[in-house]
Structure 1
Amino acid sequence: MATKRTPVVFIHGLWLHSTSWRGWAERFREAGYEPLTPEWPGVPETVLAARRQPEAQAGIGLAEISEAHVRIIRELETPPIVVGHSVGGFIAQHLLGQGWAAAAVAICPGQIKGVKAIAPAQARSAFAFLRNPANTKRAVSLNQAQFRYGFANAVSLKESDDLFAAWTIPSPARPLFQLALGNFTPNSAAKVATDNETRGPLLLLSGKLDHTVPDALTRSTLKQYRKSGASTDYQRFDDRGHSLIVDHGWPELAETSLAWLTKSGFPET
């Protein structure tokens, strides 16, 4: 009789398409998991189609992204592992805190409510979009120079350009505003149940060279969980930037995540 596989839901962040998880999905399947790579609301199935239809996801926010993943999780027989990057890392924490996931890996996660650390590099990465409030209702794109600075500063220029060509898509700017202003907004969508004692284990991964989500933010996120006795781990990669899930070094991140899941008692059988 075939053994049921533990599902893993991969959640991307701003400006990357769900197909950028392809290598991760294959590796997790090899390790005995059942991977799912759902898209954000309004995002077409391919990179090319997403570039041609940016208006389809304009105005989408954190709540809509989270709710879309909850609808998928409701259809599963068992709670999944969730693995998220950037805004997807925020969503992974939110789902875990609400009891929708068995465990979560949050990679360079978006800034949750309560995190007050900030760095000049982060401000530079986000300012081009945050300076115009009208962007909350728009889908916005990175140009090559912005991608190089915000995502791919830790790899060669050629690899940066190749990654930009392969994976980048327009994304709604609203989540960027919601995360940046979470500490100033009552009932903010950026709030996570960091005090949940009954949630599953959480792993926070960061890149020391990350300009979009500097390591200081991830370490500050870790501190937000200090009031919970639930398992929370952290690991930093000193030579990695924000592109760490798609650049040449992604297998190291995937193997680290798999090793941590094994240590945490997964996959369940």
Structure 2
Amino acid sequence: MPKHVVFIHGLWIHASAWKPWQTLFEERGYTISAPGWPGDLDTVEATRANPDGLNNQGIAEICHHYADILEALDEKPIVVGHSFGGLIAQELLANNLVEAAVAIDPAPIKGVKVLPFSQLKSGFPVLGNPVNKSRTVALTEKQFKYAFGNAISDEESNALHAAFTIPGPGRPLFEDATANFVRNSPAAVNTHTAVRGPLLLTSGTEDHTVPRSVTVAVSKLYADNTSSVTEYHEYEGKGHSLTMDSGWGEVADDVLTWLASQGFGPRAE
């Protein structure tokens, strides 16, 4: 039976942005799915028109949503997550719900203490107003350009904004921003003692939303877990749009190569 890969999108992006990845992974012999967050609707347009289902959806709710989806599958899948989807992927892996995980430019987990200015600026459209914790917020073209599209042309960034952006719930950003001050933060991941499958963390060197220093700090949190594989890959010149801009294929091919190296080729037992 082909291995099943589940793709998890990040904040402000609709699951349909994974379609090129889904096509490629299917061509390589995997079965695939890309379920949206709780409250997402089937299309970008429908979600924009009625985003209220995303209101007040936090990290724990999103994790439980995906856990329920995974547990309904015939076998434990592989999960590939981008941005907040990368944080969710790590939580699912640490809880032994998936066989392997790829966290592409993931939102920081609890324990990361670096806070670059670009990360703060990228989150400011939400974090700048406490009322946003319980509602959804959409990014303007300009805000998207800074947070996602800074390493690509204005034309391409605006096209991605038009094609894939949806309002995102503010609550996950507030929970992530305060994670180090909350005892039972939903952004906490057992990096030290969880016996789990392999994990790949990645970073684009030009990422404003999750700067390289943040993902390097995440990788260091896993350093003492010698019973499980954790690897870090870096993409020179790429920003936070790296999973959906014109250079997505380089990242996808690298993920496929890594999965094969870990024994998770499409028909691996």
Q: Tell me whether the two structures share a fold, i.e. TM-score over 0.5.
A: yes
Size of the alignment, in residue pairs?
Answer: 266
Counterpart residue number, 1:223: 220
Structure 2 residue 93 is matched with structure 1 residue 96: yes
Whether 2:154 is the aligned partner of 1:188: answer no
Alpha-carbon offset, residue 127 of structure 1: 1.9
Q: 2:133 aligns with which of 133, 136, 158?
A: 136
Matched, 1:32 2:32: no
SS in 2 for 1:165: helix
- Tell me the TM-score normalized by structure 2: 0.97
- Offset, 1:131: 2.1
Secondary structure of residue in 2 paired with 1:14: coil
Question: Alpha-carbon deviation of 1:71?
Answer: 0.7
Question: % of aligned pairs identical?
Answer: 47
Partner residue in 1 for 2:43: 46
- Alpha-carbon contact 1:97-1:196 (below 8 Å) kept: no
CA distance, structure 1, for counterparts of residue 237 and residue 248 of structure 2:
12
**Correspondence for 1:246:** 244
> Residue in 1 aligned with 2:154?
157
- The answer on 1:257 being equivalent to 2:255 is yes
Secondary structure of 2:103's partner?
Answer: strand
Contact map agreement 1:208 1:240 (CA 8 A) in 2: yes
State the Cα deviation string for residues 184-222 of structure 1 (Å, max 9, x = none).
111000001112342000000110100000000000000
Take 2:36 and 2:164, find their aligned partners in 1: how far apart are those partners?
Answer: 13
Q: Deviations over 1:78-134 (max 9, x none)?
A: 111000000000000000000001000000101100011111111111123112111
Q: Does 1:108 align with 2:105?
A: yes
Structure 1 spans left out of the alignment, 5+ residues: none
Greater Cα offset, 213-222 or 72-81: 72-81
Residue 121 of structure 2 corresponds to which residue in structure 1? 124
Does residue 235 (structure 1) correspond to residue 241 (structure 2)? The answer is no
- Alpha-carbon distance between aligned partners in 2 of 1:196 and 1:8, rounded to the nearest angstrom: 25
Written as runs of structure 1 = structure 2, the 5 A alignment for 1:66-77 is 66-77=63-74
In the alignment, structure 2 segments of 5+ residues that lack a partner are none
2:12 aligns to what?
15
The one-character-per-residue Cα deviations of 1:59-84 (angstroms, maximum 9, x if unpaired) are 00011111111111111111110000
Whether the 8 Å contact between 1:80 and 1:103 is mirrored in structure 2 is yes
2:199 is aligned with 1:199: no
Three-state SS of the structure 1 residue aligned to 2:5 is strand
Hey, which bits of structure 1, 4+ residues long, moved more than 3 A? none
Identify which range, 127-136 or 205-214, moves more after superposition: 127-136
Contact 1:85 1:245 in 2 (8 A): yes
Counterpart check, 1:168 vs 2:165 = yes
Which residue number corresponds to residue 81 of structure 1? 78
Match of 1:214 in 2: 211
The one-letter code matched in structure 1 to 2:100 is A
Shift, 1:243, TM fit = 0.3
